[in-house]
Amino acid sequence: MAKNVYFCTKIYYMLKNILLFITFLFSQFSLGQDFQWVRQFEGSYFSNENESAIEVDNSGNNYTFGIIFEELFDLDPTSGTQIIDNTSQSTSPKCSLFLTKLDTDGNFIWGKTFGSIFGFGDKVIDIEIGTDGNIYLLADIREQTTFIQKFITIFKIDPLGNILMTKKITNLANPNPYDTYSSSSLALDNQNNIFITGSFKDDLKIDPTNPQLYFNTGSDSFLLKINTLGNIVWGRKFNMYFLNSHYESVKIDNNQNPIVIVSNEENQSYNNFGYNIFKINSNDGTTVWQKILDKQNPSTFNIDHLNNIIIAGNGKDPYGSDIDVDPSSNTFLINPTRYLLWLTNNGDFLDVKKYPAVNPFNYFAFTKIEFDNNNNTYLVGQFNSVFDADPTINYYPLSYSCGNPNTRDAFYIKFNNNRDFVSAFKLGDHNNNCINFYFTDFKIKNDNQYYVGNFSPTADFDPTIGTYILSTSGIFGSRFTLKLGPCDSTTPSTANNQTFCSAENPTVSSLTPNSNDYNWYLNLNSTTELNNSTPLINGHAYYVSKQKGNCPESSRIPVIVTINPSPNALILNNQTFCENENADLNDIVITGQNIKWYISNTATTVLPNNTLLQNNTTYYASQTVNGCESTKTPILITIIPNTLPTLISPQTFCIQYNSTINDIVITGQNIKWYDAATNGNLLPNTTALVNGTTYYASQTINGCESNRVPVLIQIQNTPVPTGNANQSFCITQNATVADIITNGINLIWYNSATGTTPLPSTTLLTNNSIYYATQSINGCVSQNRLVVSISIINTLNATNYSEILCDNLNNNSEIINLSSYNTNLIASSGNTFSYYDSYNNALSQNSAGQIINFSNYNLTIGTNTFYVRIDSPNTCFQIVTLTLELVSKPNIPINDIAPICEGSFITLNGGNNYDTYTWSTGETSQQITVTQPGNYSVVVTENHGTTTCTSTKNFSVVNSNVATIQEIISADWTDNNNTITVQLNSNSQGDYEYSLNGIDFQNSNNFDNLDPGEYTVYVRDKNGCGMVSEEIYLLMYPKFFTPNGDGYNDYWKIKFSENEPNLTIKIFDRYGKFIKQLGSNSIGWDGTYLGKDLPSSDYWFVVIRENGKEYKGHFSLKR
């Protein structure tokens, strides 16, 4: 029996090994991902703990964010070089954070470095590409402030490598060199808002002005949201205390909300550790939901295109009890091993894939999770020894047989959209050699996979049966960027005939297509690829094939090369143009075919033929024959400037001089005159100038005629100055010819009409003399003269004036303008008037007595005398009096409304002792008697010499009578907030007031805030036509009563109900049972029903008043 067991066991292991080998071979031939290219970043020192990250844009350009330890290293992983110098760093080893951009074929585009002189403490965290096409980096960087201080740093970089934004976050709570805080992950939403996670110990104060950004819980994880301007929108912590190891990471779901996983060493249950999953509201950072997975650790997670959450995790204790991977109230237990967990976006359990350890001491870990456009799931990680990549009952082993437990190989696993295992492969070791090979990050774009990681010492980067071996030069390893993708062995698509020009000296590199994916051969069966520098032969057929990486090579297709002779270079002479020609390239004199113009000898952009020529500029021309372009020939262009002649416009000439074009003042050479700005006629210099005409002049220098400048010609015909023909002056003035009043400028005076000797301006005027004046405008003297006859006088002919004025408003004052009486004082014009309060002040022109506000003077009742000083232009003056008497208008003592009581009359008086009375009734007496209502008027006059003052009064006579009360409306049933409103009959025609005591009256017919009780309402006519009154009662009920026989409050009734004979009251218990009915004169209810006392309780009543209105309420019976 034992022998059979031994035999069966041996057969089992033989079959398992055979199956393992067959599965391995199958895995290598059915991957669908083939080697494309790999780029190596090598440094002499390397640490596996320093990671690198990768991102890929839609064009396949890939960005590697990593760190290299080397004093001098080449940032270009291709055949080119871009040396980075870290020799100035103060730490050892010396290192730099770097970002490289490679195109989809692995060609180096550009590279940048980041960090400080303390590079050894810098750390790569993450990289993302935003919807704006920019690259976002997250790193922890140390900088020198007053000490070596850590900064969580975000860089935003455009696709050309320009840094657009740098955001630094540090601890402001007593910062010191021993601060322990760091970032851990980076995510972007579709608006390019930035989300970062991190952790801290002790305190972390990011913004001292914002309590939300002051984390002081000892140790915890945090999440920040930062907008596109670099401003922190909100921050939060998670209250997850940790001691040492912990994990936090953020991803953005399809609803643009953050999903965060945080692990800690705080007990979740049974003294075991776990992790928490949070969904966060992106707007304010609040928790939408939180899920807990106990006794487990997360390795990595991501969110697929269906918005599901996929977590790679493991149990804390591989020998422990089962773990529950369902975060809801349900349970789904698995062995405490590694797993892949699918949750919905609400955190509900969806599926789990288990990876039990073959040997608990073997290393196995997931690093990253990604998805393709079909929502297939891809996982990468590291392992040693053997593990089964297929989590189903099927067996898909990946093995690494080095035997050194401290070394690692990398693996890849694929699941389809239904979460079914599809394939897997391992990568790194070659012939089971002992290596370290890590994937630190990877991305999937356009069915291609891009990986970054590190390896040492020698690794195979081809996952198929082919090989692509790289080795490190140092003992610690190198970084790499790797591209895998599906093979494409289709025949190249290109032109079968390609033409070149002899001047190009074409080589194989000139053929298309030409990249690392294409091979060129001299003939169809050649086994040797042509070097790119191989010269092409005219008429020869070359062959091209396609081959990516280690993929099979495609069939070859021929390309026939034609090399046409390039034409000779053009022969050109430098040329000169006038500026106003606005010459362009078309104007250059040149002989050749298919001319092309360039701005420089190396330029490739052809200038348009209408390009305007620039002075002192060299242009380059070529000709093209049979598709071949000659070399470029330079030509220097000189532009003679368009210098205008200078002149002043307008120019003025005197009419008497008969000026011509030759008299126009202008500076220039070879002047030509025209009658138009363009074209027009050339004018001779003898052309007579015409007033108001514009002439146009050019000058010609070096054969280039300038543009024309205009000049407006004005022919000055100066008029005779104007003025009064007869003028007088005061004898005391000692006037001269300069004092004669004229309208004109630059005056010259003569003593005769034809004299040529001007009089000095100081010439004294003599009585009855005649003087003659000319004026000069623009240097032209008037041809005729003004004639002025002079008289010398010694006084003015002004007179006194008085007037009586009526006080229009009877307010004892009137606003007047004293200057309106000037013409009553003197007939002549041109005089100056001043107003004073006394003769002496007017004589001495004392400003203290001068009336300044004469145009708005307030005239008071009675006689007002003003002293007016009149000054003539000839310096003579005279003082006269202006007397104004203000009298009152008749005062009519009648109100606007005059009431008459019904059936009576009223006597109206127009005022005493006035001259005339005119009533609208036709009467002319001082008083009239009116018995009928209506509209009336009276006009009253009073004579003051020749001035009559008139007043008019319009008024109305209205009926008034004793009021008739139609209804008194009351609102009662309150303790002290009752109201009474009095409504009068429509036949009440008077003006009324109201009272409740006959003493104090008010205009309102409404009384508020009244206590219950008896009231008398009074209505009185304000015109004395009588008063009426009426009584009213405001009812109220007691809120409780105590029928205990003490003679006090033993009965319940409506207060004042005896005043309403027809009022009835019905009482009910709280259940609606009828108890008692009371009349208005009842003594009240005694609290009994059918002779028996009712208990203490609330009782209800209904009151029906005499007018039919009902009131309902309740009260309490207390015993």
DSSP string covering 85-130, please?
Answer: E-TT-SSSS-EEEEEEEE-TT--EEEEEEE--TTGGG-EEEEEEE-
Residue 1009 has pLDDT above 80, yes or no: yes
What pLDDT, on the 0 to 100 scale, is given for residue 145?
75
What pLDDT, on the 0 to 100 scale, is given for residue 11?
38
Residue 422 has pLDDT above 60, yes or no: yes
Largest CA distance in the chain: 172
Q: Are 1000 and 1007 in contact (CB under 8 A)?
A: no
Residue in the structure block whose two tokens are 């696993």: 413
Residue 121 has pLDDT above 80, yes or no: no
Average pLDDT over residues 860-876: 90
Of 280-294, 314-328, 628-642, 822-836, least confident by mean pLDDT is 314-328
- 32 — pLDDT class (breaks 50, 70, 90): low
Starting at the edge strand that comes first in sequence, how are the strands of the sheet with 421-427 ordered? 364-371, 377-383, 409-415, 421-427
- Residue 597 and residue 621: Cα distance in Å, rounded? 5
Give me the half-sphere count of Cα atoms (radius 13 Å) on the Cβ side of residue 1023: 22
Q: Which residues are CB-contacts of 490 (< 8 A; sequence separation ≥ 6)? A: 546, 554
Average pLDDT over residues 382-390: 89
Of 26-35, 252-261, 972-981, which one has max mean pLDDT?
252-261
More confident residue, 15 or 112: 112
- Residue 550 and residue 544: Cα distance in Å, rounded? 17
Which CATH number is 801-888's, of 3.30.460, 3.40.50, 2.60.40, 3.30.160? 2.60.40
DSSP string covering 778-826, please?
Answer: TTEE-SS-EEEEEEEES------EEEEEEETTSSSEEEE-GGGGHHHH-
Q: Give pLDDT tens digits for 737-760.
A: 998 999 999 999 999 999 999 999
Q: Is the pTM of this model over 0.75?
A: no
Q: Give pLDDT tens digits for 438-476.
A: 899 999 998 899 999 988 889 999 988 888 898 887 666
- What percentage of the chain exceeds 90 in pLDDT? 60
Residue 264 has pLDDT above 90, yes or no: no
Residue in the structure block whose two tokens are 């359990």: 349
CA separation, residue 604 to residues 568, 594, 1024 (Å): 19, 16, 113
Average pLDDT over residues 265-282: 72
What pLDDT, on the 0 to 100 scale, is given for residue 575?
94
Q: Are 302 and 371 in contact (CB under 8 A)?
A: yes
Q: Are 157 and 173 in contact (CB under 8 A)?
A: no
Token reading at 236: 């939060």
Please work out, in degrees rounded to the nearest 5, the angle formed at the alpha carbon of residue 831 by the alpha carbons of 830 and 835: 145
Residue 25 has pLDDT above 90, yes or no: no
Name 612's bridge partners. Answer: 584
Q: Give pLDDT tens digits for 472-516.
A: 876 667 889 999 988 877 899 899 999 999 988 999 999 999 877
Residue 1 has pLDDT above 80, yes or no: no
- 633 — pLDDT class (breaks 50, 70, 90): very high
Whether the link from the prior residue into 175 is cis, omega within 30° of 0, is: no
Residue 875 has pLDDT above 90, yes or no: no
What pLDDT, on the 0 to 100 scale, is given for residue 321?
85
What pLDDT, on the 0 to 100 scale, is given for residue 47?
44
Q: Give pLDDT tens digits for 330-368.
A: 999 998 889 999 999 999 999 999 998 656 667 888 999
How far is C-alpha 386 from the geometric centre of its chain's CA atoms? 60
Q: Which residues are CB-contacts of 4 (< 8 A; sequence separation ≥ 6)? A: none
3 state SS of 358: coil
Q: No. of H helices and E strands in the chain?
A: 3, 86
3 state SS of 844: helix
- 788 — pLDDT class (breaks 50, 70, 90): very high
- 287 — pLDDT class (breaks 50, 70, 90): very high
| Residue positions counted in the chain | 1119
More confident residue, 542 or 321: 542
H-state helical runs in 330-384 = none
Residue 767 has pLDDT above 80, yes or no: yes
- Residue 186 and residue 249: Cα distance in Å, rounded? 8
Q: Which residues are CB-contacts of 508 (< 8 A; sequence separation ≥ 6)? A: 514, 520, 530, 531, 532, 533, 534, 536, 542
For the chain, state the CA radius of gyration. 58
More confident residue, 317 or 194: 194
What pLDDT, on the 0 to 100 scale, is given for residue 533?
93
Alpha carbon dihedral 1078, 1081, 1083, 1086, in 10-degree steps, equals 0
- Residue 322 and residue 318: Cα distance in Å, rounded? 9
Please work out, in degrees rounded to the nearest 5, the angle formed at the alpha carbon of residue 338 by the alpha carbons of 10 and 263: 160
Whether the link from the prior residue into 93 is cis, omega within 30° of 0, is: yes
Of 67-76, 210-219, 620-629, least confident by mean pLDDT is 67-76
What pLDDT, on the 0 to 100 scale, is given for residue 79?
72
Fold of 1040-1117: Immunoglobulin-like (2.60.40)
- 83 — pLDDT class (breaks 50, 70, 90): low
